Amino acid sequence: MVDLHVHSNCSDGTYDPGRLPQLAQTLGLAGIALTDHDTTIGNDEFLAAARALGMPAVAGVEISAEYTNPDSQRADDGEMHILGYFPRWDATTPASLTPLATMRDNRHVRNPLILERLRALGVAISYDDVCRHAACDVVGRPHIAAVLLHKGYVKSIQEAFDRYIGDHAPAYVPKRILPQRTAIEMIVHAGGVAVLAHPRTLRVKSMPTLATLLAPLCAYGLAGIEVYYAAHTAHESEQYCALAARLGLLITGGSDFHGAHKPELKLGCGFGNLCVPDECFTTIMHYQQRPQALNPDEYPISNKE
């Protein structure tokens, strides 16, 4: 089995990217992908470590995109996550992903606003402390939660989210994220494979609704669905798998491992019963992007003359 959804301390995980291939090998995984939020900064270290061990590995990213749940009555600040996999990763790839740097910079505007709200609630922590808990420049709520835990304001990371910084908690401030089209096209233009992450989190009530949501994404270049995921039930995975087949999308899967930030979630097996087939890894590695204009009959008339 493989794990194609893994975070390092370059975003909100706790393992160094260079340690993850070793952990995967110890667990007997046949492949692993690093998919940090909004950054590819750990990818070279991750791939070098994997290469040294002979561990099959793919470089990736997880990008937050705008989302409104069509089945929800309230206008909440939804997010859709798009995974990008780069089978032919090289040092020049990140250049096409520069909008991610803007997203990371925006976090340094948003985080102090969260701390201001916390102060109004009687919780005083410093932004220096928060940044010290982050290894790289994707600084966010998990690092704020870690400081709240260390300072004794809460007894667990979960309590920090429930009481203070969760999506519907009093100190929450939304972050700036990308339009869906930008997120997907950025991955495609960088030579990557774009995959819809954990479709369960879109909270739609039916598969036809999900199919409708996916139609424009496929037009932008979406190539796959994360069918296997730690929090998916077997029934949900079956439904996503059937939808992927119907739409001609490839299937992937992963645990969403975050190390000690989500201690109950294990690399490879998720909550204990996740099993992502090896083919998900090989399919990504062998994926060839469809040429932009495949069929001359589809060219606009002016191009034919």
Query: Which residues are near ligand AMP by CB under 6 A?
Result: 12, 37, 140-142, 157-158, 161, 166, 175, 258
Give the span between the Cα atoms of 255 and 276, in whole angstroms.
9
Of the pair 195, 249, the CB lying nearest Zn ion is at: 195
The piece of 112-120, 167-175, 250-258, 287-295 that touches Zn ion (CB under 5 A) is 250-258
Of the pair 82, 171, the CB lying nearest Zn ion is at: 82
Of the pair 6, 154, the CB lying nearest Zn ion is at: 6
Give the span between the Cα atoms of 118 and 231, in whole angstroms.
30
Whole-number minimum distance, CB 94 to Zn ion, in Å? 19
Q: Is 38 in the site for Zn ion (CB under 5 A)?
A: no
Q: Tokens at residue 181, please?
A: 């089209």
Choose the contact partner of 140 out of Fe ion, ligand AMP, Zn ion, none; CB within 5 to 8 A by kind: ligand AMP
Q: Is 81 in the site for Fe ion (CB under 5 A)?
A: yes
Q: Tokens at residue 107, please?
A: 């976090």
- CB-based closest residue to ligand AMP: 140
Do residues 203 and 72 touch, judged by C-beta distance below 8 A?
Answer: yes
* Parallel, antiparallel or unpaired: strands 193-196 and 78-86: antiparallel
Whole-number minimum distance, CB 200 to ligand AMP, in Å? 14
- Kindly report the length of the chain: 305
One residue of 184, 256, 268, 283 binding Zn ion per CB under 5 A: 256
The interface with Fe ion within residues 180-209 (CB under 5 A) comprises 197
Q: By CB under 5 A, how many residues form the interface with Fe ion?
A: 3
Do residues 285 and 50 touch, judged by C-beta distance below 8 A?
Answer: no
Give the span between the Cα atoms of 84 and 156, in whole angstroms.
31
Of the pair 3, 12, the CB lying nearest Fe ion is at: 12
Neighbours of 236 (CB within 10 A): 16
Q: Is 12 in the site for Fe ion (CB under 5 A)?
A: yes
Contacts of 45 (CB under 8 A, 6+ apart): 16, 17, 18
Choose the contact partner of 104 out of Fe ion, ligand AMP, Zn ion, none; CB within 5 to 8 A by kind: none
The interface with Zn ion within residues 60-119 (CB under 5 A) comprises 62
Q: Tokens at residue 304, please?
A: 């034919």
Choose the contact partner of 161 out of ligand AMP, Zn ion, Fe ion, none; CB within 5 to 8 A by kind: ligand AMP
Report, in this order, helix, strand and coil percent for the chain, each rounded to 5. 45, 15, 40
Choose the contact partner of 282 out of Zn ion, Fe ion, ligand AMP, none; CB within 5 to 8 A by kind: none
Q: How far is CA 82 from each of CA 46, 55, 85, 124, 199, rounded to the nearest angstrom?
A: 20, 25, 10, 34, 10
Q: Is 36 in the site for Zn ion (CB under 5 A)?
A: no
Strand partners, 67: 78
List of residues contacting Zn ion (CB under 5 A)? 62, 256
List of residues contacting Fe ion (CB under 5 A)? 12, 81, 197
